[in-house]
Structure 1
Amino acid sequence: MPRHLVLTIALVALIPAAALAQTPGRTAIRNACAADFQKHCPGIQPGGGRLAACFKEKQAAFSADCVATLQIARSQRRSN
Structure 2
Amino acid sequence: MSKLSFAVLAFVVAFSGTASAQSSDTRGACKADYDKFCAGIAPGGGKIIACLNAKRDQLSATCKAALDSRKK
| TM bin (shorter chain) | 0.5 to 0.7
Unaligned runs of 5+ in 1: 1-17, 76-80
Bigger radius of gyration among the two: 2
* Cα distance, 1:65–1:48 mapped onto 2, change above 3 Å: same
Number of paired residues?
57
Q: Distance in 1 between matches of 2:55 and 2:42?
A: 16
Identity value in percent = 37
* Cα distance, 1:73–1:20 mapped onto 2, change above 3 Å: farther
1:20 is displaced (CA, Å) by 5.0
TM-score, normalised to structure 1, is: 0.56
1:35 is displaced (CA, Å) by 0.9
- Aligned Cα root-mean-square deviation (Å): 2.3
Q: Which has the higher contact order (CA 8 A, sep 6+)?
A: 1
TM-score, normalised to structure 2, is: 0.61
Runs of 4 or more above 3 Å deviation? 22-25
Unaligned runs of 5+ in 2: 1-14
SS at 2:55's partner residue? Answer: helix
Superposition pairs of residues 42-61 of structure 1, within 5 angstroms: 42-61=39-58
**Residue aligning to 2:30:** 33
